[in-house]
Amino acid sequence: MQSSSSSSGSCGGGNDQVASGSKSQDDMISNLPDFVIGHILSFLSTKEAVLTSVLSTRWKYMWTFLTKLDFRDYTNNNFNSFSNFVTRVLFHLNTATIQEFILEIPHYYDPYGYYTNQWISAVLSMRLKKIKVFFFLRGNEPKIPSCPQLVSKNNILSCPLFECHESLEELEFMISSLASCIIKLPSSSFVSFSSLTVLSLAGIITFTSSNEIFQELTLNFPLLREYKAVSCGFSGVKSITIEAPLLELVFILGMEFEQVITRFSASRITNFSYYCDTVSHTIFLDHQNIPSSKIFLVLFDSEDHSVEEISIFIRKLLRFFINAEYLELDLANCWPGFAWVANYLADIPVFRMLGYLKLKRVTSNTLLDFLLKTPCLKTLVLQMVDYDEESQNFAIVPDCFLSTLKVVKFDKYFGGEREFSFSKFVMENTKVLERISFSFHESCSEVEKAKEKLSLVKISFSTVIMEFST
């Protein structure tokens, strides 16, 4: 009996120890410091993190130590509920530093920025490091006045966004098309952002708080590596200098406000993309010897400018990238006027390091101008636009045909005589060609006839691979 009793007591004590150990393990996270729990909760959405307050008394205020705030509303049409939630969270936060603040809402939720200003001002006081704001449009939402009407009203960003200089590392602020907002800069001709590494803006008009028009505005970014601007512009200034010694990527799509000179003081750009109207905007790069880089240029223009004006703009822009290894150029709406002007780019610089060249909507004259200035070209991708029925003779064989050009791709090949003349010129004169391909235009009605005609051309080497696609 004693043995049985002793055995029973021993087993009972063991169960108590197991239960105690299990409880201790289950509560291990709760025993962590508050700031550590706050960091762990930051991997959840903000709404999920706040819901953990119901777990226990210990967890009731753990969400107030969040270091990442993520407020997105794509489905809920109740703005009052959403704004109350955001305001309540920001009011109760108990953290010294916010690693990231994300806000994604329909534009009509806060068209004049009343709530957005308050929310951003609140997080800026907590040494904010990253901010991402995205206002998107829905198909059935009411039309919101764009920036010209907002200048004299409540501005989307009248909060001191650019006064958080020391802590802010990444800034992304995007307004979808058909809407725009305004960012106020301090009333100074020199503004510095000591920690910013990424700046991405869309639909933003930037102007200074001062009533006077600055002749020059300098934006200093000692650590900036990425600069992206979509449909953005500067008001109240005539010249912008962006000082960014570490800048590697530049992406510009559309620019508001004409006659503003933009100058990049940057010597390490490796990827430069420019999709804009020509002539109306002036772009300068202070350093002529920018390292080898990828360049994407898509140029649009109206009939307001002459071919000479446009060609001068293109030549000036190309001179900044003489060390480029990769270049894409799309003349877009410029080519109708260029089709009848010979050698308008004859004096472009020599690209001695260029290995990849993609030219869209170019004439045969423009094409030859480029090939004569690319002695080390290895790959050529082209889309020609002069479909004339008149063939053309090419008197000069580019150096790259004799030693380096290995791959040639014709995009949207139509089968016109000028196209055929140039393809024949390539196949008969390229000494190291390995592959030539033709992707036919969807409107080409005689694909098989064009294939047969191309196949009859005598290629310089029998080992060259010829490919066709539609």
Q: Tokens for 246?
A: 């570490």
CB 360 within 8 A of CB 335: no
Summarize pLDDT for 165-185 with one digit per residue, the tens: 678 899 998 887 555 666 766
Beta bridge partners of 134: 104, 174
pLDDT of residue 409: 97
Low-confidence stretches of the chain (pLDDT beneath 50) = 1-12, 14-24, 142-156
Query: Is residue 231 left, alpha or beta, with left meaning phi > 0 and alpha meaning psi from -120 to 50?
Result: left
Type of residue found at 141: E
Residue 157 DSSP label: B
Q: Give burial (CB, 10 Å; 0-12/13-18/19+) of 449.
A: exposed
CA distance 20 to 15: 8
For residues 328 and 357, give the distance between their C-alpha atoms in angstroms, rounded to a whole number.
6
Using CB atoms within 10 Å of the CB of residue 376, give its burial: 0 to 12 exposed, 13 to 18 middle, 19+ buried: middle
d(CA 183, CA 412): 43
Give the model's pLDDT for residue 1: 43
Predicted pLDDT of residue 152: 32
What DSSP character marks residue 203?
S
CA within 13 Å, CB half, 343? 5
Contacts of 193 (CB under 8 A, 6+ apart): 162, 165, 168, 199, 219, 220, 221, 224
Query: Taking the model in full, what pTM does it have?
Result: 0.79
pLDDT of residue 468: 93
Q: Measure Cα distances from 118 to 90, 156, 158 in Å.
A: 10, 10, 10
Q: How many residues appear in the chain?
A: 470
Residue 316 amino acid letter: K
Strand pairing of 217-220 and 356-362? unpaired
Residue (of 372, 460, 366) closest to 418 by Cα position: 366
* DSSP output for 161-199: GGG-TTT--EEEEEE-TT--EEEEEPSSSEEE-SS--EE
**Angstrom distance (rounded) from CA 96 to CA 93:** 9
**SS3 at position 180:** coil
